[in-house]
Amino acid sequence: MSARYEELKALKNLGQKYAYTDREVMLYAYGIGLGADPMDEKELAFVNEGTLTPRPLKVVPTFASVAAWGSGPGEMNLNRVMVVDGERDITFHQPLPVVAHITADSSVLEVYDKGKDKGVVISHQTVLKNEKGEKLATLVASRFARGDGGFGGPNLTQPDPHRIPSRSPDKTIDITTRPDQALVYRLCGDRNPLHSDPEFAKKAGFPRPILHGMCTYGITCRGVLQTYADYDASAFRQHVARFSSPVYPGETVTMDLWKDGNVISFEAKVKSRGVTVIKNGKTVLG
């Protein structure tokens, strides 16, 4: 077995401490576009706590993806310019509180070396827990490092993704992004200059800064929230998506959704460029 493979597989970081308040909760919701209509009471519940008529602030389920921003199994020593998100799978064990002190336990699950010039996919897990040690959410992420393959890892096959139904979508919705959306979303933690610095974006092979994949992921959660979940954040049990192409801030994301019992399948496209940006999406409601 290659030393590089063993090095990555051994990465683990337990007991990482984080805290957040309603400020971070509202910023994330705004960062994925909720509250664009200042008179939409259902969306305002995620970005405004109410004053004359107080109401409990709601937490977008995928806020879990930034609640412990910076947590991870350890330094992977990858070519940062060539790293993109591959997939995200979050299991929600209980609704996220509005204010919390949490711990994050992170470890590498598997490393898929695709070969020289093909990159490597690293799957890692982070478990978020409250002060009582109870699980809040389990995040499984895959990181696609396009410039780091070919170190002699084992010949492993990634698990098959969720299969989208072959019938026509049950619903289709359009969600518009703002030209400055990446500049807002980056304040949730991800300061990767790929999303804010035109010069850096060009060096990475893009004509201009792209929207964070995790912002697009949050947008798909928003899409399920407003359709089949009736804005009930506590209904989410799992939210999975694979990133297939970037969104540029200002573009309209079109989501196709299929409902089969408590499972919502989805894909997302940018019709203006004829590209699919999210594949094999699945939300489990309960």
Catalytic machinery residues: 190, 195
Q: What 3-state DSSP class applies to 31?
A: helix
What is the distance between the alpha carbons of residues 211 and 247, in angstroms, rounded to a whole number? 5
| SS3 category, 135 | strand
| Number of C-beta neighbours around residue 87 at 10 A | 23
Rounded to the nearest 5 percent, the helix, strand and coil shares of the chain are 25, 35, 40
Tokens at 206, concatenated: 């893009």
**Residue closest to 221 by CA, chosen among 67, 60, 96:** 60
Using DSSP's 3-state secondary structure scheme, residue 8 falls into helix
Residue 106 vs residues 13, 125, 146, 247: alpha-carbon distances, Å: 5, 5, 22, 28
Kindly tell me the number of DSSP H helices and DSSP E strands found in the chain: 7, 10
Contact 213, 59 (CB under 8 A): no
Extract the tokens encoding 138: 């389990």
Distance from the Cα of residue 160 to its chain's centroid: 19
Cα(129)–Cα(132) distance, rounded to whole angstroms?
8
Distance, CA of 113 to CA of 83 (rounded, Å):
14
